[in-house]
Structure 1
């Protein structure tokens, strides 16, 4: 049998309901016991002598049990009583012999003189204890005198409470626990459904719907399910329209931009030295705009839309090649590229050269943001079977902990990147993240203990082909 995973809300609801039930059951049982309440106590309230304390209650319980039995049965019943109870009970027959042949204390002998046919009930406080006595007959005609001593403390009362109610309380606690378990499960299952659906939307699954699961719920929950679906539909439509708009605008910009670049090339050929500098700046701006448009068009529409991985690449060779290509750029800042490869051969299923763009972007970002005359470390290893890990660490300013996830969002740039001419436009890591996700891998960023940022990519390996 598979047990459901217990959430924090489920545990809180279950324990809250159960503790309330246990408190109510325990409280009501204590009130009935210590205040001598209950449906069978309507006659006891009419008694002239008070028998509501533990000694009187014990006397009444013994008499009610013994009166329907004969002498031998009563003797057997008294002998089977627990030690804590039997030491407070003395039962004397007509020959003034104790039924269990125990020695009768002198105080009990003196108290017996007060009990006779004219006074069958008697109560008296002697020292710190209260003594109760009663004369009664068994079903075989035998007359017995029952003496019960009640100590000044309430230990006898608590022992009677536990003895009389423990099995009822245990049964009630088990039944209430089962009821609270299913009640908490019923209440929180809708919360779990909402939580799961919200997490799916957060990961980019806009097709999730819950109205059908909520259709048989009470009115408010059914309305909540429909409202959630309406929200998901509107969010899905808004996100798709936004991404489609960006791509459509980018496509529309490409044609005039291409014409501008052609005209600019012709102008540069015919220009004199006086305007060459201005034309170079125009070309630089046009190239920048062309790069932005190219990256926008290469950005996947959704993070979870699967690509067909129809190619295989050897990861170690790929990363080594990219590192060698970046050495000239690193040398301009006196940056040292250090590659540590612990895996001789790593095969990754991919699509075209998409992974080349991922690692090229990450390594060049590290070179761009690391301090001059500092190292950039690239490490390839295997943290677990079937997974390859590539770590790229720089010695730059790092990123605020609040923005470690944001740097993978489109068009997000840190303050340091905005202030630098070479800061880019915030699409490289977004494309890298979505590409890695399409490959079934993960990518995350973390600040180094001393200084700098590390980008860590894990990718699933495939067996040799």
Structure 2
């Protein structure tokens, strides 16, 4: 038999609350049934023994008074005390010291066909049992000393603090299940959002499972991811088409320039046209590279280390600096574990290092500093630097610092944009500040794996 399932989170919380409350109430109502201090039926074996004894007593040709006296003589033999009352509830013969106990019990149990028992302190009282004789009848109550302590779960009922703890223990499994039912789809949604933040635009069918509220949210989330994929694919197609359309006339322009040089010879005007055509082609290539970096790069992420990513690149940059009459030094590079796209990270640091070499007067330093859970990289030069008001803008595409607008300085304004995109895709941060020598210092902060 399959139990009905509640798909709504609201319904699950409501049902869990009432089910927990029902279990606690049933427990509180059921436990007193095992409490000897409450009125209970006499155990069947004890009841049968007493009934047999009463039948044998009834068959004796004795008066009621003699039968009562006989029972009292034998009560020590059976380790109990017997007390007798008439039909009106008045004591016959010697009264018992605990007269209030007998009065209370007699008011609760008065039918000899269904005798009861109840614990009063250390005395277990049971009865009534009918004693018959030719000259009348009486009710007999038996009292014996109770040595056993009450069960542990009954002792808990007498202590509210312990009762509260037991109630909490009983409700904990249900509440843990409720917490799991609520947080599991929330965790799946969180993990899916983290993937999107890393550029992993993939739909997850698991998001559409669980309570109906999360099913609807997961369906909307997957729809959003699908829409983002369509938008990015459209953007890629547009850039690809633009690139194709731009490169075709650009190629014709360079061919025309080459023909003009062949016919008319070299000239400043033709050289300038060729230079601008080359710069335009480089700009188109870098723009397409930036576009490709912003999508689908997550599929090439792998577990690697810092030395494997940057060591060879730094050696090449050191050689390039020497060729330009400058010096590049790096410090502290170790094989820290990284979960990364190696080509992207290598390109990111390479762009910053080459930019520093280009504008440095004499030296460039690259420092690696491993901190808890993150790696900090400082690339500093002793060049002219960047005005403080423009340091946040140098990572924008096509942005060129006012002091370096002259086309003779070269560049397309996309190198640092590519670096910023690569760092951001690795959940890192890149900032610019003034170096100790007055130049520019670019700081990249990346998460370490584990």
TM-score by length of 1: 0.48
TM-score by length of 2: 0.49
Q: Find the structure with the greater CA-based Rg.
A: 2
